[in-house]
């Protein structure tokens, strides 16, 4: 079964060492100069408000909004939680069945945005252009996930397309849950963390 797994590269410190000066100078969009579309994830742990960088990651932002508008994320889980890394959701229902998705989108990791704490990025397989519905929220700065080159799946990076503007306390509560195995999957919350509904404010 195809699983949307992140390159869990806490075991790859060499990637961090390989960062270039250009990558280290990555800057996030300036909230003061542009108004971004907002999405609110209402979870059983509380609400998480997200702004989407539709200027820097137009395909990823539009893809996320479409899934949200369609009600796809309602009743899905944050199904993978690694406390010093990220929390991942958007693909499994509460019966832990993987949902059908639309076609994959192009990887926009070369957009100049960094996988910093509080940012959202698209989850994918080793194929750099395999992202569909699943996303993750970085709970720490994960520089090794940033785009470095288009040589292969590892160096392509993970496309940042938004960030949490309110509710990082909720994200931190999710990152602190106990996890275990569920079938073939590791790092699954023992207590379900559910996206109950999604709001897109006017």
pLDDT band, residue 3 (cuts 50/70/90): very low
Position 24 in a domain:
no
CATH number at residue 108: 2.40.100.10
Q: Where are the beta strands (DSSP E) in 69-201?
A: 76-82, 86-93, 119-122, 135-138, 160-166, 179-182, 185-189, 194-199
pLDDT in tens, 135-181: 999 999 999 999 999 988 889 999 999 999 999 999 999 999 999 99
Position 142 in a domain:
yes
Domain count, the chain: 1
* Residue 134 domain boundaries: 35-199
Of 150, 53, 134, the residue nearest 99 (C-alpha): 134
pTM score above 0.75: yes
């Amino acid at each position: 079964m195809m699983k949307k797994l992140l390159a869990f590269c806490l075991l790859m410190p060499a990637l961090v060492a390989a960062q270039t000066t250009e990558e280290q100078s990555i800057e996030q969009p300036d909230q003061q100069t542009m108004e971004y579309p907002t999405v609110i994830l209402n979870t059983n742990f509380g609400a998480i408000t997200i702004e989407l960088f539709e200027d820097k990651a137009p395909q990823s932002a539009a893809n996320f909004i479409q899934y949200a508008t369609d009600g796809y994320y309602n009743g899905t889980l944050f199904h993978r939680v690694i406390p010093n890394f990220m929390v991942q959701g958007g693909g499994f229902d509460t019966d832990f069945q993987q949902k059908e998705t639309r076609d994959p989108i192009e990887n926009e990791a070369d957009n100049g945005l960094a996988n910093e704490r509080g940012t959202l990025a698209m989850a994918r397989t080793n194929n750099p252009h395999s992202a569909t519905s699943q996303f993750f929220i970085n709970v720490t700065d994960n520089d090794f996930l940033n785009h470095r080159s288009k040589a292969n799946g590892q160096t392509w990076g993970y496309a940042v397309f938004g960030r949490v503007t309110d509710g990082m306390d909720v994200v931190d509560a999710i990152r602190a849950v106990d996890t275990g195995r569920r079938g073939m999957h590791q790092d699954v919350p023992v207590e379900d963390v559910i996206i109950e509904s999604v709001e897109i404010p006017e």
